[in-house]
Amino acid sequence: MTILVTGGAGFIGSNFVLDWLDVSDEPIINLDLLTYAGNRQNLAALEGDSRHVFVRGDIGDTELVARLLEEHRPRAVVNFAAESHVDRSILGPEEFIQTNIVGTFRLLEAVRGYWNDLPEGDREDFRFLHVSTDEVYGTLSPDEPAFTEQHRYEPNSPYSASKAASDHLVRSYLHTYGLPVLTTNCSNNYGPYHFPEKLIPLVIHNALAGKALPIYGDGQQVRDWLYVKDHCSAIRRVLQDGRTGETYNVGGWNEKPNLEVVETLCAILDERQPREDGRSYAEQITFVKDRPGHDRRYAIDASKIERELGWCPEETFETGIRKTVDWYLDNQVWVENVTSGAYRDWVEAQYA
């Protein structure tokens, strides 16, 4: 038995691969194109591990995917592969259309061909699990109930629109072709191996470098924060016992305004690695012009996955954020290796 993981060198994907092989001996075929956020260093602990087969390639390469499926005969595909940063989607939406929509379509086509040729028993057991985001649901007012699986899709950025389209494609392959699919929609992840353009790793990196800590608008945009290893355990549960065709929202029950998140990070860094001048990192906070179409609030109601599959997050925001800061402090070589010149140029252009 084996599974095929796409996008398994990215932030969430690499954490999933590492966690999977930490609790299971079932091998993983890991397909990743290694774009800017994909990083083989995330998987360094698996060097020489026969349970992990890494293949550099694109989910949009139907021939490659078909060959991998035929050669390794996986019982499941877990699709993490996606362009995933709203800011980048605003500056260059076409890559998001190509990867998240066209790429998902071509992946589904290859998987459908493979699944059709499986023996009957294997066809019944096979699963295609598509990992998506809460951003497809749009934005909430301060007093609205959290997103449930029945919430209407109202994406507001090229990124969330492309993910919404991919979700609809996945659903259509169940209802049109019978492909046994599952979908998860998660809230904001944080934790080890997070590429330092997203809020939490960016703030940690800039704080230690003595740079400004940029916060969009008034900093009161609210997000639900989910520790990445909790997300990985949720995906394992859904893959194991989720009902075919169902969607499961995965959240951390941790709604926080962005400004509060940044102030919490500054307080932890003040404690863990104080500035040489003895002043608080919070003095580096800088408010910058808000990004276009910035959603005000996301919130996930994760009652369904807890009720049906018995899953709930182990980490609170307070425990998870401390583990995250400690990981970045202990892995500064990794940070330096991924913050290349191209990354620095992008950050300067984005927050100028």
The two tokens of residue 223 are 């997000």
Torsion of CA 243, 320, 18, 336, to 10 degrees: 140
What pLDDT is recorded for position 270? 98
Divide the 352 residues of the chain into consecutive groups of 10 and give the mean pLDDT of each group. Answer: 96 98 97 88 95 97 98 98 86 93 98 98 97 97 97 96 98 98 98 93 96 96 98 98 98 98 98 98 96 93 98 98 98 87 61 58
Question: At which residue do the structure tokens 């995330």 appear?
Answer: 42
What pLDDT is recorded for position 63? 97
pTM for this one? 0.95
**Amino acid identity, residue 333?**
V
Secondary structure (3-state) at 153: coil
Question: At which residue do the structure tokens 């060959």 appear?
Answer: 67
Spatial contact of 219 and 287, defined as CB atoms under 8 Å apart: yes
Annotate 91-155 with DSSP letters as a single string: H-THHHIIIIIIIHHHHHHHHHHHHHTS-HHHHHH-EEEEEEEGGGG----TTSPPB-TTSPP--
The two tokens of residue 227 are 């520790």
The two tokens of residue 52 are 């992990």
Integer Cα distance of 350 and 352 in angstroms: 6
What pLDDT is recorded for position 88? 85
What pLDDT is recorded for position 122? 97
* Cα–Cα distances in angstroms (integers) from residue 11 to residues 76, 98, 283, in the given order: 20, 20, 29
Secondary structure (3-state) at 330: helix
Question: Residue 134's closest CA among 222, 50, 213?
Answer: 222
Q: Is 348 left (phi over 0), alpha (psi -120 to 50) or beta?
A: alpha
Secondary structure (3-state) at 4: strand
Indicate which residues carry an active-site annotation.
134-135, 159
Domain 3-190+227-253+293-314: give its CATH code. Answer: 3.40.50.720
Question: Cα 152 to the chain's mean position, in Å?
Answer: 21
Question: Residue 83's closest CA among 19, 37, 140?
Answer: 37
Spatial contact of 186 and 133, defined as CB atoms under 8 Å apart: yes
Torsion of CA 196, 297, 13, 46, to 10 degrees: 50
Secondary structure (3-state) at 191: coil
